[in-house]
Amino acid sequence: MPENETGQLDSTSPPPKRGHGCFYYGCLTLIVGIIAIGSIFGGIFWYGRKTLAPVCENYFNLIENRNYSAAYQSLGNLYKQKQTAPDFEEMQKRFRQQMGPLQQKSMSGVNISTDTTNGTRATAKYDCTYATGKADLEFHLAKNSGTWVIEGIAFNSPSFSVTGTNPSTSTTSNTQATTSTP
């Protein structure tokens, strides 16, 4: 209790207000931090959907319409150095035969990085459902002269075999254009 002019405790005055404690400021800092981190990741995902998705969607559409030549031409030079157009088309036809048509797809992740050696690179992940099973596709993209191009596609599905032997037991993970599937 505060003192009056005579130095005695004054019971009529309200007690002084206590300030916010460490718990209050700790929780406030945590909430602000979570919002900031969520905004950063949300911004990266939004940027990926805005800039990378059109490139990937174009690829999906060309493959689904069986326009393999145009799909191959849409790929970057690094990809083309590792897989020829005839091999690409054969792989796509085999994939279509084993997996069937694409029924559903959704972008599930984006990662973008820039460095002085490799320039700007990105990965766009898709969860896909085909007539005979599910597949995870990971597009590896590079920014060339301000335009994103696909330089590799990693494919993973227990329903597809690159060799065509037994699709029910094979899991294919291809990276950087060794093989490609939609």
Question: How far apart (Å, rounded) are the C-alpha atoms in residues 53 and 125?
Answer: 10
Angle at 57 between CA 72 and CA 120, to 5 degrees: 75
pLDDT on residue 139: 94
User: Does any domain span residue 74?
Assistant: yes
Question: How far apart (Å, rounded) are the C-alpha atoms in residues 93 and 96?
Answer: 5
Given a cut of 70, whether residue 110 has pLDDT beyond it is yes
Given a cut of 50, whether residue 11 has pLDDT beyond it is yes
User: Does any domain span residue 32?
Assistant: no
Question: How far apart (Å, rounded) are the C-alpha atoms in residues 44 and 55?
Answer: 16
User: Does any domain span residue 130?
Assistant: yes
User: Does any domain span residue 46?
Assistant: no
Task: Work out the mean pLDDT of the chain and round it to a whole number.
Answer: 78
pTM assigned to the model: 0.65
* CATH number of the domain residue 149 falls in: 3.10.450.100
User: Does any domain span residue 118?
Assistant: yes
- Domains in the chain: how many in total? 1
pLDDT on residue 177: 32
Domain span at 150: 52-156
Residue 17 pLDDT grade (very low, low, confident, very high; cuts 50, 70, 90) = confident
User: Does any domain span residue 115?
Assistant: yes
Question: How far apart (Å, rounded) are the C-alpha atoms in residues 122 and 23?
Answer: 40
